[in-house]
Structure 1
Amino acid sequence: MTSIHHPMPGVPRDTRRRIGLLGGSFNPAHDGHRHISLEALRRLGLDEVWWLVSPQNPLKSDDGMAPLATRVTRARQVAHHPHIRVDAPELLLGTRYTLDTVRTLKRLYPHAHFVWLMGADILPQLEHWLGWRELFQEVAIAAFARPGWSYAALQSAAPRAFARYRLDAGQARRLATCTTPAWCFIPSRLDSHSATALRAGRPKRTRAKGKTIPDQIPSEGARTLPDRSKEIGEQLALVRRSLDDDKAEDVVIIDLAGKSAFADYMVIASGRSTRQVVAIADHLAERLKQARYRVISVEGKEVGDWVLVDSGDVVVHIFRPEPRAFYALEKMWALENVATSKPAKAARRKRA
């Protein structure tokens, strides 16, 4: 079978699970996404939640949009839950609009019970989505309270248009198996995380290799920032030596130059067991510190299936073989490169 038949790896075609769909750019993923997902699992009685990372939201500018593979990788780190799956099925399905994505997923998983999840701040935007009325007919919808976007959002056009199909929050566990249209507003503990706020507070990284900038003293003309490629190359070489010393397997180095602002290189490697994965990560972090390279974070040691060592210019992912095959970061970057190399078509209509 072709990959389009399995846009969500590991999910059987005949699944009868109750599945929440949380779509968006995830630029970046944050605890607010995880909060809504956990609330949905509990309040709606779902079996799992799928995060559908969009290649590009047509209602948003692509300025500051991180590469798809970067967003998927971060989302998987943030989700970190056995009942939350993260992937980018639209890249494989070839769909761009939420309505088309939902219809295709329903066709591929005809026995599943889907619920579209969103924050209440999205309710006023629904009227701008392509085919939003048809979307209500296709899938049950659950909107979760968000700071500043709670009951006021219920007065917007889409909720009013489908007011008579609204379920009381006390009936939320029925939503997944209700005949559509059906939707529900879920008042819950408010979470103030926002991708926009996170991007605004994140210092913008500039690629300074050989870039000329104007000096503040006009008489001195322009000056060139130092070329750090040698230093970064030495850091990458240290990473490779450390992985080799600890018998890491299947080491792959991905050059991110010109593709991402979050690092210059991504390194992917495998350990045969959780103990080896953690040991490889610990030794690498220690060697980087001894060489006076910064180590921003080491994440995932508690489980040991996938440990991320972020040293700024070089980001290292260390997996056990099974999780590495499942998450397929190398494949995700390959798909990203194919997608970005295709000429963009002008969007004729707004979509979600």
Structure 2
Amino acid sequence: MKLTHLFALSSLALSVSAVANQSVLTVYTYDSFTSEWGPAPKLEGLFEKQCQCDLKFMPFEDGVTMFNRIRLEGKKTKADVMLGIDNFVMPEAEKSGLFAPHKLENKGLDLPEQWTDKTFVPYDFGEYAFIYNKQKVANPPKSLKELVERQDLKVIYQDPRTSTVGRGLLFWVNTVYGDNAEKAWQDLAKHTVTVGKGWSETYGAFLKGESDLVLSYATSPLYHQWHEQDQNYVAANFEEGHLVQIEVAAITKTSKQPELARQFLSFLQQPEAQKIISFHNVMKPVVSEQADPAFKTLPKYEKLAFTQPSTETVKKWLATWQQVLSK
């Protein structure tokens, strides 16, 4: 018995030592990605089997908040990988000079546009849309302009200073309204219940009945169908068209594990990882080989023509939005 006990202790010590000597890869992301129903828990085990490393996700309220933290930390950031900004925030991230080239091929991707970026790797995408419960909203808005003008509809959306989804609405409103965007924000503010920091907070408030519509994605109804067998949630289809968000990941220049980080970015596009991401993040896969066929049953949401604004223009749009809400 003593020898058996001694052998067990020795084996435990070797196991602890092996874990201690594993390389650690730290990924900054947003909180819904790391939630118990999000993709991170399943991706963690799958990737660790491939890399023989320790994958650690560090969550933040939303993608813009996460990027701002990396920007604040600069060369002292603990992040090896940033996962969760999008094509609308990419220019700011590129300009920051904090991220390294991924050195991967941009081939075989099922995206609505050709992907050629050498720094940021896409892992899912989806159209921004306002979600409503058809049992509670009998006459949903058919356009963004109708949503803005309908004072009978209570609306919740996300702060464009902290949220990628909120930033999407900032771009959506300014693309549709142009020079009249300030008036649009004023009209929308009259029936906006709250502006939340991130998606999880705002979608949760909507599900509690605090609003008629919430800004989310055209894919969001699939969550309710898959997990709740509820067919009542619908993404409003707007006649002006919808902006398409492409979520991306990137390697920080200060990463102590650049090759491991590159392996992780490549892993995100593997069919099995894509199946996990698309199902648990409820977003369209960039590689649809093993994706749930339900994605193909979604209505067609027309893509709104969009030109990426300069950083200075984005600052002016944010200032206008903030000024309206502060009144």
Tell me the TM-score normalized by structure 2. Answer: 0.23
Bigger CA radius of gyration: 1
Q: Which has the higher contact order (CA 8 A, sep 6+)?
A: 2
